[in-house]
Amino acid sequence: MSGIVVVGAGMAGLLAGSMLRKDCPLILEARERLPHNHSAVLRFRSSIVGDTVGIPFRKVQAIKAVERWSNPIADTLSYSMKTNGAYTIRSSVTADAKVSERYIAPEDFIARLARTVQGEFAFGKKFSFSDRWRGSSPVISTIPMPHLMEALGWEEKPEFKYKKGINITAKITDCDAYCSLYCPGYHFQGSRISITGDNLVVECYPATEKEAILIKEQMEPIASEAGRKLGVREMHITDVKCQEQPYAKILPIDNRIRQRFIIWASDEKRVYALGRFATWRPTLLLDDAVNDVRQIQKLISDPGSAYPHKKKG
């Protein structure tokens, strides 16, 4: 097969397929149909994704605030434990209720993005990274880094720490707002409550399986309480659902190992990692992935371009 193969039809894989157009004849996706893996809040820092793929994004004013629970230190540590499973001061509960500009994709973004892809989709096909494929075509992989390390036989594996999440979503009648409230208190299962247009999202990070079951059973009361915290009345909340997110919170690993692996995979195996989970960058947004696709494209057409030291031989 000639051309670039993309593995994974999540948003990063679709973005690559869309940007690479005829250079990417095939997108392989393990799921049986076009996945909607992302159920948390989705906002963009800029209009770059929309501009690049020709899907207009809406510019909005968004507001973020913290529900003050105790004192600033207790709020930070409690929020960190709720979301990361450890008391650290890395977590940000510094939202100061200021308004900032954000960009919002249309509701049918994934379907529209998939339509901009020129290559073929193969659903229900798990790419094996077997010897048969190695080197025959360059591969852009969006599968999570721990799985790719395993598949390619990389031995220097760091300890990958991550938390599963459950996102409770609902519709709010007569609503067009953009806001997030961070909730450090233990008494409430959600860590962040957000409204995007008329969509309510409560992001929960259960500490145990038992807690996960409880959250799913209690999704309606949790959505109602979340609504109340944002000033939304229970009677205006409809269509409550929940969805699990396996890598809801990923914690940083040693950056040198991370980079060594990415460079080795692209140099030695012609497998190019793309996306938040594939490159294990906890804060990566799709905005950043646009530039990453361009870098990968350059690297594939001129392998020495990204690592000039390699050219010296």
Ligand X SMILES: Cc1cc2nc3c(=O)[nH]c(=O)nc-3n(C[C@H](O)[C@H](O)[C@H](O)COP(=O)(O)OP(=O)(O)OC[C@H]3O[C@@H](n4cnc5c(N)ncnc54)[C@H](O)[C@@H]3O)c2cc1C
Query: Would you say 11 or 240 has its CB closer to ligand X?
Result: 11
Residue 65 and residue 74 in contact, taking contact as beta carbons nearer than 8 Å: no
Q: Helix H segments across 85-176?
A: 109-115, 145-152
Check binding of 227 to ligand X (CB under 6 A).
Answer: no
Q: Which two tokens stand for residue 92?
A: 């940000």
Check binding of 78 to ligand X (CB under 6 A).
Answer: no
Check binding of 148 to ligand X (CB under 6 A).
Answer: no
Stretch that binds ligand X, among 66-74, 170-178, 222-230, 269-277 (CB under 6 A): 269-277
Q: Which residue is nearest to ligand X (CB)?
A: 10
Phi, psi of 50 (to 5 degrees): -60, -45
Give the strands of the sheet with 139-141, arranged side by side: 120-123, 26-29, 5-7, 139-141, 271-273
Check binding of 41 to ligand X (CB under 6 A).
Answer: yes
Query: Would you say 40 or 55 has its CB closer to ligand X?
Result: 40
Degrees (nearest 5) of the Cα angle 227, 232, 238?
A: 70
Angle in degrees, 0-180, between the axes of helices 255-269 and 145-152, rounded to the nearest 10? 50
What is the identity of the amino acid at 137? S
Residues 161-220 that bind ligand X (CB under 6 A): 203
First to last CA, the chain: 30
Contacts with ligand X by CB under 6 A: the residue count is 32
Q: Are strands 96-104 and 58-66 parallel, antiparallel or unpaired?
A: antiparallel
Residue 224 and residue 190 in contact, taking contact as beta carbons nearer than 8 Å: no
195: β partners: 179, 200
Query: Would you say 77 or 166 has its CB closer to ligand X?
Result: 166
Distance between CA atoms of residues 185 and 139, nearest Å: 44
Q: CB of 169: closest distance to ligand X in angstroms?
A: 12
SS3 171: strand
Stretch that binds ligand X, among 56-64, 174-182, 275-283, 304-312 (CB under 6 A): 275-283
Query: Would you say 284 or 299 has its CB closer to ligand X?
Result: 284
Check binding of 7 to ligand X (CB under 6 A).
Answer: yes
Stretch that binds ligand X, among 4-12, 111-119, 169-177, 206-214 (CB under 6 A): 4-12
Binding flags for ligand X, 10-39, as an x/- string (CB under 6 A) = xxxx--------------xxxx---x-xx-
Q: Are strands 96-104 and 177-182 parallel, antiparallel or unpaired?
A: unpaired
Count CB neighbours of 193 within 10 A: 27
Check binding of 272 to ligand X (CB under 6 A).
Answer: no
Q: CB of 289: closest distance to ligand X in angstroms?
A: 7
Distance between CA atoms of residues 138 and 268, nearest Å: 11
Query: Would you say 146 or 227 has its CB closer to ligand X?
Result: 146
Binding flags for ligand X, 238-267, as an x/- string (CB under 6 A) = -------x--x-------------------
Check binding of 8 to ligand X (CB under 6 A).
Answer: yes
Check binding of 43 to ligand X (CB under 6 A).
Answer: yes
Q: CB of 308: closest distance to ligand X in angstroms?
A: 28
Distance between CA atoms of residues 82 and 87, nearest Å: 9
Q: CB of 119: closest distance to ligand X in angstroms?
A: 14
Check binding of 81 to ligand X (CB under 6 A).
Answer: no
Binding region for ligand X (CB under 6 A): 7-13, 28-31, 35, 37-38, 40-44, 126-127, 142-143, 203, 245, 248, 275-278, 285-286
